[in-house]
């Protein structure tokens, strides 16, 4: 097992990783920007190093500086968390060259699955169902219109290197596609350094269901069941739960087997997620693969009892999986909501000082956060400040616990999306399980 791990991340996920490392007896190294000098992950780690100013490009995305710290502090491995450098193939490659273990899949797999165009080709070749679309980058808007005419409107315009809902937009006609193409292409170039765009058929009223996969270095690959992540705003997830109320057992098993097949087809190792869109007839289609830990991983942990961060570390250290597919059981129902420092009406970020913080407590309530009273939420980073996870023996019980917990969750000094989360959790359609990707726009 590793003796020392550097965590190339910040906020609640850095705290989450440190917590598991402590249980495994592993020393941790934190890196931080000037804006995070008083952050909880800095105080919790055994060692901490300043790596730059608040700008992400000059701190948390500074590969050379992070690797310099890793080498000088004698870290044996680096955990990238999620976001930031977690799906950066070049970072993983440089870790490999520096003989530092990257806790995740090999760099060539990250590169292969990081491009939505490449991953579509790969999955199609492996016999995984994909949405009708193109598998080449579009040169310009005329190229896009030609492709869309072959597929048929409505279509979804997407950035090949995209993520977090950036560079994605629906076009229901040629006029709409002309209006949105250049703006989305510019955003993709700005955020990802790659303006490659493609189009695929738009599925009306879909659900977003993903399968957690895990694979060791011997090729043993399993799935840890599904998470439903359909409630989104601006293509970003807000509420996630497991299991999905929409799936029947036959579809659930088939999706799990398909995800395992997809992971095996590329020789995947470590933790990953195969994301699917599923239509009203329960036809499912490959959307993308995230070659990292997901924000919503706690709901899988709650229903399976498996610590996914611990599994990541063990696999990276060369350990083999000690259980088989039929031993991965589901127990109860778990729901996670993301708490953002943002105006619940406009979704604009709401930086500032948290003057009061009261958290609900209970045996079926779990918190993932790295903020406290008097903590300053800066405008430099993602506005998600915490995650609230609840569990029940049934979905109804979990929803009741969630409603009660949100009523007791107090954050003052900044605006948060807690009112919106309360509205979702008490909505009759949510209680019924009618949670398509249009839920917020349709009901709220």
Q: Which residue segments constitute the domains of the chain, with CATH numbers given?
A: 4-103 (3.40.50.20), 132-201 (3.30.1490.20), 207-443 (3.30.470.20)
Give me the pLDDT at residue 139, please.
Answer: 83
Assign 189 a pLDDT band (cuts: 50, 70, 90).
confident
Q: What is the pTM of this model?
A: 0.92
Q: Which of 56, 52, 87 is nearest to 378 (CA)?
A: 56
Is the pLDDT at 68 greater than 90, yes or no? yes
Give me the pLDDT at residue 138, please.
Answer: 87
Assign 196 a pLDDT band (cuts: 50, 70, 90).
confident
Residue pLDDT, tens place only, 138-184: 889 999 999 999 999 999 999 887 666 777 889 999 999 999 999 98
Give me the pLDDT at residue 234, please.
Answer: 76
Give me the pLDDT at residue 164, please.
Answer: 64
Q: Which of 27, 37, 14 is nearest to 73 (CA)?
A: 27
Give the contacts of 138 (CB within 8 A, at least 6 positions apart).
Answer: 144, 147, 196, 197, 198, 199
Average pLDDT over residues 61-73: 97
Q: Which of 45, 90, 88 is nearest to 69 (CA)?
A: 45
Q: How far apart are CA 23 and CA 289, in angstroms?
A: 29
Is the pLDDT at 191 greater than 90, yes or no? no
Computed over every residue of the chain, the mean pLDDT equals 94
Give me the pLDDT at residue 166, please.
Answer: 77
Give me the pLDDT at residue 193, please.
Answer: 78
Q: Is 292 a catalytic residue?
A: yes
Give the contacts of 438 (CB within 8 A, at least 6 positions apart).
Answer: 205
Assign 188 a pLDDT band (cuts: 50, 70, 90).
confident
Give me the pLDDT at residue 161, please.
Answer: 78
The fraction of the chain above a pLDDT of 70, given in percent, is 99
Give me the pLDDT at residue 195, please.
Answer: 85
Give me the pLDDT at residue 428, please.
Answer: 96
Is the pLDDT at 134 greater than 90, yes or no? no
Give me the pLDDT at residue 163, please.
Answer: 66
Give me the pLDDT at residue 399, please.
Answer: 98
Is the pLDDT at 101 greater than 90, yes or no? yes
Compute the Cα dihedral for 431, 360, 408, 13 and give only its sign.
Answer: negative
Give me the pLDDT at residue 220, please.
Answer: 98
Residue pLDDT, tens place only, 263-292: 999 999 999 999 999 999 999 999 999 999
Q: Which of 16, 120, 252, 292 is catalytic?
A: 292
């Amino acid at each position: 097992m590793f003796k020392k791990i550097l965590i190339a991340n910040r906020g609640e996920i850095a705290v989450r990783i440190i917590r598991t490392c402590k249980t495994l007896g592993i020393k941790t190294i934190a890196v931080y920007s000037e804006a995070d000098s008083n952050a909880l992950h800095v105080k919790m780690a055994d060692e901490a190093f300043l790596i730059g100013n608040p700008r992400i490009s000059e701190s948390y995305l500074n590969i050379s500086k992070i690797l310099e710290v890793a080498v000088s502090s004698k870290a044996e491995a680096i955990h990238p968390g999620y976001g930031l450098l977690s799906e950066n193939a070049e970072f993983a490659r440089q870790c490999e060259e520096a003989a530092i273990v990257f806790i995740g899949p090999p760099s060539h797999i990250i590169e292969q699955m990081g491009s939505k165009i490449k991953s579509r080709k790969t999955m199609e070749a492996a016999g995984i169902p994909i949405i009708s679309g193109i598998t080449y980058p579009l040169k310009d808007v005329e190229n896009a219109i030609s492709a869309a005419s072959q597929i048929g409107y409505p279509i979804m315009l997407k950035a090949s290197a995209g993520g977090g809902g950036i560079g994605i937009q629906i076009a229901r006609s040629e006029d709409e596609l002309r209006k949105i193409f250049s703006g989305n292409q510019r955003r993709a170039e700005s955020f990802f350094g790659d303006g490659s765009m493609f189009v695929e058929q738009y599925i009306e009223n879909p659900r977003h269901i993903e399968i957690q996969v895990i694979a060791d270095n011997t090729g043993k690959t399993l799935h840890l069941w599904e998470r439903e992540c359909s409630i989104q705003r601006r293509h970003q997830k807000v509420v996630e739960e497991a299991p999905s109320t929409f799936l029947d057992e036959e579809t659930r098993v088939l999706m799990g087997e398909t995800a395992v097949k997809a992971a095996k087809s590329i020789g995947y190792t470590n933790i990953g997620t195969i994301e699917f869109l599923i239509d009203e007839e329960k036809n499912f289609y490959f959307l993308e693969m995230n070659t990292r830990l997901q924000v919503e991983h706690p709901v899988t942990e709650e229903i399976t009892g498996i610590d996914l961060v611990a599994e990541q570390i063990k696999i990276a250290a060369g350990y083999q999986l000690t259980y088989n597919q039929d031993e991965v059981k589901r127990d109860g129902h778990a729901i996670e909501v993301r708490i953002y420092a943002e105006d619940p009406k406009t979704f604009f970020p709401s930086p500032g000082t948290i003057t009061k913080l009261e958290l609900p407590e209970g045996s079926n309530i779990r918190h993932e956060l790295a903020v406290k009273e008097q903590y300053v939420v800066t405008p430099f980073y993602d506005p998600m400040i915490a995650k609230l996870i609840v569990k029940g023996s049934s979905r109804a019980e979990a929803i009741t616990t969630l409603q009660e917990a949100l009523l007791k969750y107090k954050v003052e000094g900044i605006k948060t999306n807690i009112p919106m989360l309360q509205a979702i959790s008490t909505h009759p359609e949510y209680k019924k399980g009618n949670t398509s990707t249009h839920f917020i726009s349709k009901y709220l």
